[in-house]
Each structure stands twice: as structure tokens, then as C-alpha cells.
Amino acid sequence: MHTETGNKAVVGGLIVVLLLAGVAVSAPLLAPGDPGRQNLVLNLIKPCWEYPFGTDELGRCIFSRVVYGTRVSLTIGVVVTAISGLIGVFTGLIAGYFGGLLDEILMRTVDVLLAFPGLVLALVLAGLLGPGLPNVILALALVGWMGYARVVRGAVMAVKVKEFVAGVRALGAGDWYILVRHILPNVLAPVIVMATLGIGHVILNAAALSFLGLGVQPPTPEWGAMLNGGRSYLRTAPHLTVFPGLAIMVTVLGFNFLGDGLRDVLDPRSQAKIPD
């Protein structure tokens, strides 16, 4: 029964995520206009047939901007998660497997970094690096890897004492061979779940940075930056903020459903076992 609800969440989340990916890829086909084209005569128009989401203060088509924004947000989400996932998995693997002083140093570093709230750390980094897409990605990646490191280290410690690891060591396998071929595949399941949930989280943080003016800069169509731009028109023209806000919400929810569902599906404990 448990698995069934997990399956539904996976399917629901997967559909949302695939739709978003489709939108990102086919943005030029879906968007009725150029997301950057200004038309000051037609500014702050309410949603209508020609402009489904209306226009912003500079007369740009909000629908087109939201559609193109999918590209930006998904790129940030995926790239940041990939980078922090790689750093975290690598760190967790060597800390958990080799142990000793190396483990001590790496894990204390993780502890220190985790003592700061992630967004604050990202703010500081983004402030130091300056705004712009590559810098946002770098800042978010550098604050996001510690969770992966911790989870992977714990999983490695559990796997490395299993008899099959001692067995391949007796066969003559070296440390790196064991790490890559035997430990890594057995610790990936929680990482996949974490990364899926992490993409939503990163997109939210990226939007927050942009909203605060430290992230992706105008005129790039980014949802957080659009929220920022629409802030002054919250009362007079709420569609400036409602649609990018909805886009963020749907995206984050989609990834969260997918991640939570994957956790249920990938967790062997969720499978009902026949007593033996």
C-alpha cells in the first residue's frame, strides 16, 4: 500500500518535471513573442487573449518571460545540483571509506559550513562573486554539497563493513576499484532522492537570490528577478508577480513529489516482506 502511494507521487512529480523540461526545450515554439522585446505603449496590460499572462512595466509579454524563465531556472537547478552532488558524493565516499584523520578534517569542515544557514552563505558568496548566472551557480553549488557528503559518508560506513567488500578485497581489488565499483552503486539511492528534492530547493534559492538583486540580472527572464521587478506593482498589477510565483511553486512541488515518491520506491524497507 505504501509503495502504491509512492508510485502515484512519482508519476505525478514525473509528469510535472517532464512538462517543465518540455517547456524549457521548446520555449521558442511555445512563447508567443520575444521575452525581451519592450513595448512601452502596452505596459501593465492585464491578461488577455494576446498576452495570456499580461505584460510587465516595460510592456514585455509575461507569458513568454515565464516560459523562457523555465530554461534559466531548470538550468540553474540541474547544474547546481550536479556540481554540489559531485563534490558531496566524492567527499562522502573518501571520508567514509578511508576514515581516520582525512574523515575528521572533511567532516569538521562540513559541520562548520552547515552551521551557517545555506541562503545566508549563498548571499555572502554571491555578494563577493558579483551577480550573473555563472556566479549564482557557483555560489549555490558551494553551499549545497555538505548534505550529500554527510548522507554518503553514513551510507559508505554501513556498506564497507559488509562481507562482500572484504571478499573483493581478498580477491585483490584495490581501494579505488572497491570504491567505484562496489561502494558507490550501493550508496546512490539516497543521493538520487536527495538530488531530486535538492533541485527544487536550489531553484527556490536561486529565485530568492535574484529577488534580492544578487542573482541573475535583468533583462534575463528569471522568475525570482521577475518577482522583484513586479514588487512595486503588487497592488495595481498583481499578475506581474502571481505568474512567476506560480511557476516557482509548481516547479518546486513537482520536484518534491518526485523526490518523496522516489524515496518510497527506492527504499527497500517499503517493500512488504514475506516472513521467513
Partner 1 sequence: MFTAGIFKRQSFKVLDGVSLHISPGETLGLVGGSGCGKSTLARVILGLVPASSGRVVFKGRELPAGGNRRRDQGWEKMQIIFQHPEASLNPRLKIRDSLAEPLRIHRLVTDREEEAAVIAGLLETVGLSREHLSRYPHELSGGQIQRVVLARILALRPACIIADEPTSMLDVSVQAQVLRLLKDIQARYGLACLFISHDLAVVRWMSDRIAVMSQGRIVETGLAAQIIKNPGHPYTAALVREEEFF
Partner 2 sequence: MSLLQIRNLCTTFYTPGGLVRAVDGVSLDLVMGKTTGLIGETGCGKSVLGHSILRLLPANARIEGSIRFKGEELLCLPETKLRRLRGREMAFIPQSPATSLNPVLTIGRQLVETIRLHKRVSRQKAREAAAALLELLDLPAPEKRLAEYPHQLSGGMRQRVLAAMGVVGNPSLLIADEPTKGLDAIVRRQMAAVLRRLTAKTGAALLLITHDLRVVAGLCDDVAVMYAGEIIESGPARVVLTDPRHPYTRGLLGSLPAHGLKPIPGVSPSLIDLPAGCRFFHRCPDASPACGEVWPSLVKQPDRQVRCLLFAQGRESGKGVYGRDLQAAVV
- The window from 9-17, 159-167, 201-209, 247-255 that contacts partner 1 (CB under 8 A) reads 159-167
Q: Does 117 bind partner 1 (CB under 8 A)?
A: no
- Full DSSP string of 55-85: B-TT--BHHHHHHHHHHHHHHHHHHHHHHHH
Residues 214-273 that bind partner 2 (CB under 8 A): 272-273
- HSE-CB at 135 with a 13 A cutoff on CA atoms is 17
C-alpha cell at 194: 536527495
Among 29, 115, 171, 272, binds partner 1 (CB under 8 A): 171
Binding partner 1 (rule: CB under 8 A), the pick from 50, 164, 231, 232 is: 164
Instruction: At 253, list the grid cell.
Output: 512541488
Q: Which residues pair with 219 in a beta bridge?
A: none
**By CB under 8 A, residue 100 contacts partner 1:** no
Of partner 2, partner 1, none, which one does residue 276 interact with (CB within 5 to 8 Å by kind)?
Answer: partner 2
Q: Would you count residue 1 as binding partner 2 (CB under 8 A)?
A: yes
Among 1, 100, 174, 272, binds partner 1 (CB under 8 A): 174
Grid cell digits, residue 234: 503588487
The answer to whether 161 contacts partner 2 (rule: CB under 8 A) is no
Q: Which of 28, 130, 167, 213 lies at the binding interface for partner 1 (CB under 8 A)?
A: 167
Beta-carbon contacts of 36 under 8 Å, excluding residues fewer than 6 positions away, are 60, 219, 221
Nearest to 57 by CA among 191, 229, 272: 229
Size of the site for partner 2 (CB under 8 A): 6
Question: Cβ of residue 171: shortest distance to partner 1, in angstroms?
Answer: 5
Going by C-alpha positions, the residue among 162, 179, 1 that lies closest to residue 94 is 179
Query: Is residue 92 classed exposed, middle or buried when 0-12, 13-18 and 19+ CB atoms within 10 A define those classes?
Result: buried
Cβ nearer to partner 1, comparing 116 with 177: 177
Is there binding between residue 275 and partner 1 (CB under 8 A)?
A: no
Retrieve residue 232's grid coordinates: 512595486
- Return the number of the residue (41 or 274) whose C-beta is nearest partner 2: 274
Binding-site partner at residue 37 among partner 1, partner 2, none, CB < 5 to 8 Å by type? none
- Partner interacting with residue 173 (select from partner 1, partner 2, none; CB below 5-8 Å by kind): partner 1
Q: What is the widest separation between alpha-carbon atoms in the chain?
A: 77
Q: Which is nearer to partner 2, 40 or 272 (CB)?
A: 272
Interface segment toward partner 1; rule CB under 8 A; list 9-17, 45-53, 166-174, 207-215: 166-174
Sign of CA dihedral 200, 205, 206, 208: positive
Start-end of H helices in 161-238: 163-171, 175-177, 184-211, 223-230
In the DSSP assignment, the letter for residue 25 is: H
Binding interface with partner 2 (CB under 8 A): 1, 272-276
List residues binding partner 1 (CB under 8 A): 162-164, 166-174, 177, 181-182, 185-186
